[in-house]
Amino acid sequence: MNPGETAPFLDGLNEPQKQAVLQTEGPVMIVAGAGSGKTRVLTYRIAYMIHKGVDPFNILALTFTNKAAREMRIRIEKAVGTEARNIWMGTFHSVFAKILRIEADKLGYPSNFTIYDTDDSKSLIKTIVKEMKLDEKVYKPAYVLNRISAAKNSLITYKMYESNDDLTAHDAVSSRPFIHKIYSTYAKRCFMAGAMDFDDLLIKTYELFTKFPDALNKYQHKFRYIMVDEYQDTNHCQYMIIKKLAAVNENICVVGDDAQSIYSFRGATIRNILNFEKDYPDLKVFKLEQNYRSTQTIVDAAGGIIAKNKDQIEKKVWTQNDLGEKIRIIRAVTDNEEATLIAQSIFEEKMKNQLHNKDFAILYRTNAQSRSLEESLRKHNIPYRIYGGLSFYHRKEIKDLIAYLRLTVNHKDEEALKRIINYPARGIGKTSLERVQLLAADQGISWWEILTAAELFDDLRSASGKLKDFVVMIKSFATMLQKSDAYELAMHIAKSTGILKTLHEDKTVEGMNRYENVVELLNGIKEFVEDDTSELEKTLPTYLQDIALLTDADKDDDNNDKVSLMTIHSAKGLEFAHVYMPGMEENLFPSQMSLGNRQDLEEERRLFYVGMTRAEKKLTLAFAHSRFRFGQLLPCEPSRFISELNEEFVAMDPKSSNQTSLRGRRIDSGTPERIKSGGSTSRFGRSNSPTKPAPLPPVIKDFTPEDTSSIKQSDVVEHQRFGKGIVQLVDGEGLNRKATIDFESFGTKQLVLRFAKLRFIQ
C-alpha cells in the first residue's frame, strides 16, 4: 500500500468518524460519546497516518490501559502490517517508564530502577512513621500516601510542599503536622533505593523535560504526532508533559468524553478537556455522537441525565438501534432483599432468553456492596467474578518470588529486601533485621550496603555469616541477568531460594493453592518470553516493568462463563448486554461525600451516566429502604438520580417489594406512584394519598450543613433532601445519637445525626 492509494479500511466509518481520521495535521479534539466507536477511530487514524507515509517511530499514542494499547496495535497491524509494532504506544506510566529508563542517569537513577506498587509505598511510609515515633493510627499509610500522590499529581515536590503554607496549614488542622517531613523522607528513601512509585513516573518525566532541555528537544522531534485517549481523565502533571511534548509540531489529537470524566479522586481534572481550545485556538473539533452500543431507551434516558450537568461540551448522542425495553427499577426493603431480587432476575433472564452468565454485570458504587450480592449469587448457583479484588500479583506467594526477582535486578530495593531476607527461613532473626535498619538509618545508606559490609559492624557480627550468604546468593543471580532470559532466571531463583520446595511441602489446601499460583506465575513468565508478537525484550528487568504497570483492566478476559461484579469506576470502557446497578440511594449514590458542592455532584452524575451506558440491551436499577452501613441498619431514600429519569423510559419491576419501611404503607408495584422533582417526573417516591401524589421539594442548592451537637426537641431544622422539619425527639449517645424529625413533605423520619446533614432555621 502506498500513500497514493485509497485506504480500504476507511470504508466502514460514518462521516464524522472519517473526518476525524483524515485530519492528521494540527491540533484536533475528538469528542467521543459513549459507544460511538472511539477505539475504531483511534486505530484507523494511526493506520491512516502510516498509510500516508508517517514513520511509526514518530507516533506516540497514549492509552488508558496497556490492554487497550495491545488490542489497538493488533488491529493497526492487520490494516498496515508489522510496521505497527514500531509505534510508541501504551499508558502514560508505561511509555514514560520507558523514557526514564533511557534517561535515568540524568536524574541520578539507575536504568534498572524498581517501580514500587501501592503496597511497597505503604510499607515504606509505615516504616518511616515508626522511625519518626509518630502515632500510626493518626498517620495511616493510605492517608499519607494519598496526600503525597495528590501533591505529585499537581507537580508539588517535597521541597515545595514544605514551603506551601496552605498545605501545611491543612495538615496542622487535621492534626497531622508532620506530613511534609514524611513526604521528604519518603522521597529520599525511594531515591536511595533506586525506586520510583507510580506518581514518580509522571513527575520525574516532567522534571526530566524541565531540567534537561536537550532531552525535551529530543522527544519533541521524535514524537511528531501525539494522540491521547481518555483525555478527560488526565491530571495536571500529564497535561503539562503533553503540552511540552507537543509544543514544536502541535500535531496533537486528544480523544475523550467530558461526560465520562469520573476520576477526580485520582487527580484527574475535567478542565483539561473543557479548556483544551484555549491552548490551541486553531483547534479542529469532531464529535462522534452516534451510539452503536445501547438501545434507544438507554441512550435517551442517559442523555436526559447528563444534560442536567452544567460543565460539559454540548453534544447530542443518538442511536439507530432498536427502542428496547424500559429501564427496570427494583425496590427492596433491605439490601439483602435487593441482592436476592437481582440474583433471581439474572436467573430468570438466563432461562427465558437462553443467555450466558457473561452477558450480565452488576455495577456498584462501592466495593463494600458486593457482600450481599455474592451471597445471593452463590445461593442461586450463579458463578461470578469480582473485578478489583485481590489481584493475582498481590498474593503473598507471588509478591515473595517477585521480590527476589526485583532484588536481583536492583540490589538497593529496600522493600523487596525486607520482604525476603528471611524467607524461606535462613536464621536471620528479627533482632538482626532491626539492627540493620538502625545502622542504615544512622549511616544514611541502604540496607544492601549494610549487608555487604556486615562483618564491619559489631552489632551484626553474630549474624554476619548468614547475611553474607544471602548477599552472595543474590549476586549470583545477578550474574545471570545478561546471559539468561526472564523465564530461565526466574525458574533458577524459584528453585535455588527454596520457594518452590517450601510451598510444595505444604500439603494443606491453602499451601497447594499457593504452590499452583507460583507455578502459574512461572508459566506467565514463559509466555512473556515466547510471545513473538511483543516488541519487548525478553529480559527479567523488562518483564518486571511490564507487570509493575499492570492494572485490573489489563487482565486477560476470563473465558469462563461468569457474571461480572465491579465498581462503576472499574467498568469504564466495558459493555455488557444486561447491567444491574444496585444501591441507588441518597448518600450512597450519589455518595455522601459528593453533596457539598456542584462539581462533586456533577461527577457523581457522570458516574451514573457511565454506569447506564455500559448496558447494551437492558438496564436495571435497584434501591433498598434500609441498608447495613458502618455496622448499623440505616434507613435509605431513593437516589435523586432515579427522580431525574424521565418516566417514559422506566418501569417498576413487578417482583419488587410492595412495602416501604419508611412510611409504613404498602405500595402496589404494578401501579407505581408518581412524584415530581425539580420539573422532572419519577415513579418511586411515596405519596400522602393513593390518588394525589405529594410534591417532592427540589434539592436545596448550595446547602451547608451545620454542627448538630446542640440539637434538641422543638428545634426547626432543614434537610437538603427532605426540606423543613421539627425535631420531635433526640436520643442515643456519641456516634449513635439520633433525632426523630417530622418533615412537612415526608412525614416523620429518624436520622442518625452524624450522617444527617442538617441546618437550623431561626
Catalytic center residues = 38-39, 229-230, 260, 614
H or E element that contains 758 = strand 758-760
Q: What is the 3-state secondary structure (H, E, C) of 482-542?
A: CCCCHHHHHHHHHHHCCHHHHHHHCCCHHHHHHHHHHHHHHHHHHHHHHCCCCCCCCCHHH
Rg of the chain over CA atoms, in angstroms?
29
DSSP state at residue 229 = S
What gap in Å lies between CA 59 and CA 61, rounded to an integer?
6
> Which residues pair with residue 627 across a beta bridge?
634
Grid cell locating 376 = 445471593
Q: CA-to-CA distance for 558 and 638, rounded, in angstroms?
A: 34
Coil vs helix vs strand at 330:
strand
User: Which residue, among 246, 164, 242, 232, has the nearest Cα to 202 in the 3D structure?
Assistant: 242
d(CA 735, CA 743): 23
Cβ distance 438 to 460 under 8 Å?
no
C-alpha cell at 327: 429501564
Q: What 3-state class would DSSP assign to 448?
A: helix
721: cell is: 433532601
Of 576, 528, 573, the residue nearest 551 (C-alpha): 573
Residue 97 burial (CB < 10 Å; 0-12/13-18/19+)? buried
DSSP state, 712?
Answer: -
The span from the CA of 646 to the CA of 300, in Å, is 9
Q: What are phi and psi of 632, to 5 degrees?
A: -130, 150
The grid coordinates of residue 526 equal: 514463559
Q: How open is the CA angle 268-105-249, to the nearest 5 degrees?
A: 55
Residue 92 is classified by DSSP as H
CA–CA dist 255, 614 (Å, integer): 19
- The gap from C-alpha 158 to its chain's centroid, in whole angstroms, comes to 25
CA separation for the pair 516, 511 (Å, rounded):
9
